[in-house]
Amino acid sequence: MKVIKWLIGGIGLASMGAFGGAAYLFQRTIKREDNVHKSTMPEDVLEIWEEHISIIKREVAWLNKQNTEALQIKTKDQLILQGTWLEAAKESKKVILLLHGYRSNGIGNFAPMAHFYHDLGYHVLLVDHRGHGKSEGEYVGFSVLDHKDCKGWIKRIIKKLGEDVQIWVHGISMGGATTVALCTEKLPGQVKGLIADCAFTSPWEVFEHVLNTEYHLLAFPTLHLADAICKRQAGYGFKDVDNKERVSHSKLPILFIHGDQDDFVPTWMSQKMYELCTSNKRLVIIKNAGHGESYFRDTETYQKAVKIFLNEIDEVVGEEN
C-alpha cells in the first residue's frame, strides 16, 4: 500500500509540475507582454545585433521624417489594430504589406525594408499585430489569428487605393508564418505574391523545437497542456494552422528566405515548406545569418532576391492583363 501511495503521490506531483510548466509557457509566450525582457542571447550574438540595431534606429529616424498616416481596422472579435501607411513617392498602385515578428512591432521590425520598398516605388503598410505595439489584444495570435486579421488589412488597402491595386505581403518570423498561412485563404485577386522570411511551419512545431533545444523537455505533457490552456483562454490551438499542409495547396507565388544559422526557427522549416509548395516558388538561404538576421547579414543578396521575385510576378500579371 505504501508503494502505491508513493506512486500516486509522485504522479500527482509530476502532474502539478507539468501543469505549472504549461501555465508558465502560456503566460510567457501568449499573454501580451509590452515590457522588454532581458535578452538571453550569447554575448557574441548580442554584439552582432548591436550593429543591426544601429541600422534600425537610423531607418526609424528616416521613417519618422516621412509623411505617414495612421490606419486602423477592427477585427471580427472587435479589436482595434493599428498600422502606419507610407505613401509612395510617386503615383503607384503597388503596395507591400509588412508583417512583423513575435514581441516586436511594424516599425521596429520593418523600418529598413520600408525604406527599401519605398525606393522601389511601393506604398508601404506596416502593421502591429494583435497583442503587439499600438494594437489592442490581450493575447498573441501567433499566426493562427493573425492571418485572419491580415485579410482585414488587405480589404483596407483596396478600400484606400481602389480595385486596381496590386498587393504583396512580406512577413518575418511569426509574421512570415502568418504570410505563408494566407496562401490557401480566399483572398481578393489584388494579392499577387507572398514573401516569408524565417517562417515556422506551425506554432506547435516551433514550440516543440524550443522546448527540446533550449529546455531539453519533451512536448508531452507540457506542450499538450499549454495547448489546452491556449484554446480555452486565447481561442486557438497550436496545431490550428499547419503551413506544411497549406503550401501543398498553394496557388500564390511564395519567396522563402531563411538564415542557415537560425537556431530559433530552424532552417529546415522553410526548406520543407519550399519542397511541398505547389505554386511558383523560390528559396533563398542566407549564409551565416541567425534568426531574423538575413536582411542585415547580406542585404545585397536579400534585396536582389526580392527584386527578382517581384519582377517575375509583374511579368505574369502583365501577361494576364
For residues 81-93, give the mean pLDDT: 97
pLDDT tens string 193-230: 999 999 999 999 999 999 999 888 888 899 999 999 99
Secondary-structure percent of the chain, ordered helix, strand, coil, rounded to 5:
50, 15, 35
Q: What is the pLDDT of residue 315?
A: 74
Residue type, 169: V
Please state the length of the chain.
Answer: 321
DSSP character for 128?
Answer: P
Q: What is the pLDDT of residue 14?
A: 37
Q: Which of 104, 117, 124 is nearest to 49 (CA)?
A: 104
Q: What is the pLDDT of residue 42?
A: 52
**Separation CA 109–CA 197 (nearest Å):** 12
Beta strands 123-127; 80-86: pairing state: antiparallel
Q: Give percent of the chain with pLDDT exceeding 70.
A: 89
pLDDT higher than threshold 60 for residue 287: yes
Question: For residues 160 and 100, is the Cβ–Cβ distance under 8 A?
Answer: no
For residues 58-69, give the mean pLDDT: 97
Sign of the torsion angle spanned by Cα atoms 236, 239, 243, 249: negative
Q: What is the pLDDT of residue 314?
A: 82
Please report, for residues 120, 179, 215, 303, the alpha-carbon distance to residue 267 in angstroms, rounded to integers and kept in the order given.
28, 17, 20, 19
Q: Specify the residue for cell string 545585397.
A: 300
Question: For residues 108 and 173, is the Cβ–Cβ distance under 8 A?
Answer: no
- Neighbour tally for 73: CB within 10 Å: 20
Beta strands 166-172; 191-197: pairing state: parallel
For residues 162-181, give the mean pLDDT: 98
Q: What is the pLDDT of residue 1?
A: 33
pLDDT higher than threshold 70 for residue 20: yes
pLDDT tens string 139-158: 999 999 999 999 999 999 99
Q: What is the pLDDT of residue 34?
A: 80
